[in-house]
């Protein structure tokens, strides 16, 4: 049975070989640029290599090193803290903005949508310059506003904040930047989710006497759960592998106070040239991210059932 099916497949390939020739460039490029790097990096996890000398097989030594790497532990902790600081408020603001922009009475909705989405496509260099000016200890707009409030309300004891030069404030500074940059992106996704909800549900709930809050709780939020899950998984991936924002704003400093996993992975690869250990870290963290994403999907499926 299997041999006959395989024979039929090869017969079809020989018969329509022209079509397979036309689509072959995609598969060749995917194999070279997609499959091969993944397989090669998996092999690198078991070797010691600096990119120039010969590879040395070390087996599981790279994985054993993970447990003694204090900077890795610090970077993972910083990644978790930054994620906690920006993901919940970002998701909440994105949902509120999506609700407002979904209202039919709102004028110039296209302009507002483009304005909220603009930070996502703004070059990171420009964002770094702007936030560097905002966070400046002496001439920054934020500290200027704090100084004005302190002058008007002296009993509050407000003082200028060293946003990116203090270990206590560096992670919050990164979180604010990331929330500002990606709130509009999540807003667009949630707006698409809201527009996918049929108005018949709201009409039926209104006939049953449900108010605005009841419709929100019993209709909007349950039907938006898949969208929330999708945004949550994207935020998880973005938090773990975040690089641009941290690199241009704080370079991971002061010290390692804002060094996240993405920046540490980059430094290990292209500053220390420890490609084997970097691949080991990448695959290990990717495995746990995959498990967390599966748990999120499973919890969502269980709740729906």
User: Would residue 137 count as lying in a domain?
Assistant: no
Query: Phi-psi region for residue 255, left (φ > 0), alpha (ψ -120 to 50) or beta?
Result: left
Phi first, then psi, for residue 104 (nearest 5°) are: -70, -25
What integer pLDDT is reported at residue 128 of this predicted model?
83
Residues in the chain with pLDDT < 70?
1-8, 303-305
Which structural domain range is residue 263 located in?
A: 69-121+179-304
Q: What pLDDT, on a 0 to 100 scale, did the predictor assign at position 156?
A: 81
Residue 57 maps to a domain: no
Q: What is the pLDDT of residues 131-154, one digit of tens each?
A: 988 998 877 889 888 888 888 888
Half-sphere exposure for 281 (CA within 13 Å, toward CB): 27
On whether residue 292 sits in a domain, the answer given is: yes
- Residue 18 pLDDT: 81
Closest CA to 167 of 250, 244, 84, 245: 250
Q: Are strands 47-48 and 56-57 parallel, antiparallel or unpaired?
A: antiparallel
What predicted TM-score, i.e. pTM, was given to this entire model? Answer: 0.89
> What would the two tokens of residue 123 be?
């070059």
Q: What CATH code is carried by the domain that includes residue 230?
A: 1.10.3720.10
Which residue has tokens 């936030």? 131
DSSP helix/strand/coil, 166: coil
Q: Would you state the pLDDT for residue 4?
A: 56
Q: How far is CA 167 from the centre of its chain?
A: 23
Asked if residues 279 and 66 have their Cβ atoms less than 8 Å apart, the reply is no
Domain presence at residue 90: yes
98: Cβ–Cβ under 8 A, 6 or more apart, which residues?
187, 188, 190, 191, 193, 194
Listed in order, strand segments (DSSP E) in the chain are 47-48, 56-57
Number of domains the chain is built from: 1
Res 8: pLDDT: 64
Task: With respect to residue 297, please indicate whether it lies within any of the assigned structural domains.
Answer: yes
Neighbours of 95 (CB within 10 A): 23
């Amino acid at each position: 049975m299997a041999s006959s099916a395989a024979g039929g497949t090869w017969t079809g390939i020989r018969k329509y070989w022209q079509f397979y020739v036309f689509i072959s460039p995609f598969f060749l490029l995917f194999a070279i640029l997609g499959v091969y790097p993944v397989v090669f990096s998996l092999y690198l996890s078991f070797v010691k290599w600096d990119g120039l000398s010969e590879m040395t097989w070390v087996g599981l030594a790279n994985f054993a090193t993970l447990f003694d790497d204090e900077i890795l532990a610090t970077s993972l902790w910083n990644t978790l803290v930054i994620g906690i600081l920006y993901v919940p408020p970002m998701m909440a603001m994105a949902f509120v903005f999506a609700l407002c922009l979904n209202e039919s009475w709102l004028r110039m909705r296209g302009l507002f949508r483009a304005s909220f989405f603009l930070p996502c496509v703004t070059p990171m260099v420009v964002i770094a310059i702007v936030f560097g000016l905002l966070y400046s200890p002496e001439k920054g707009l934020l500290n200027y506003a704090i100084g004005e409030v302190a002058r008007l309300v002296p009993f509050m004891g407000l003082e200028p904040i060293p946003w990116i030069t203090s270990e206590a404030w560096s992670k919050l500074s990164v979180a604010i930047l990331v929330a500002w940059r990606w709130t509009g992106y999540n807003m667009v996704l949630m707006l698409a989710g809201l527009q996918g909800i049929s108005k018949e549900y709201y009409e039926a709930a209104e006939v049953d006497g449900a108010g605005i809050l009841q419709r929100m709780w019993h209709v909007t939020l349950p039907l938006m759960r898949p969208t929330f899950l999708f945004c949550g998984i994207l935020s998880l991936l973005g938090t773990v592998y975040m690089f641009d924002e941290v690199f241009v704003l704080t370079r991971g400093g002061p010290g390692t106070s804002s060094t996240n996993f993405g920046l540490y992975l980059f430094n290990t690869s292209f500053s220390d040239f420890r490609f084997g250990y970097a691949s080991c870290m990448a695959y290990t963290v990717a495995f746990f991210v995959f498990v967390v994403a599966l748990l999120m999907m499973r919890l969502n499926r269980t709740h729906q059932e």
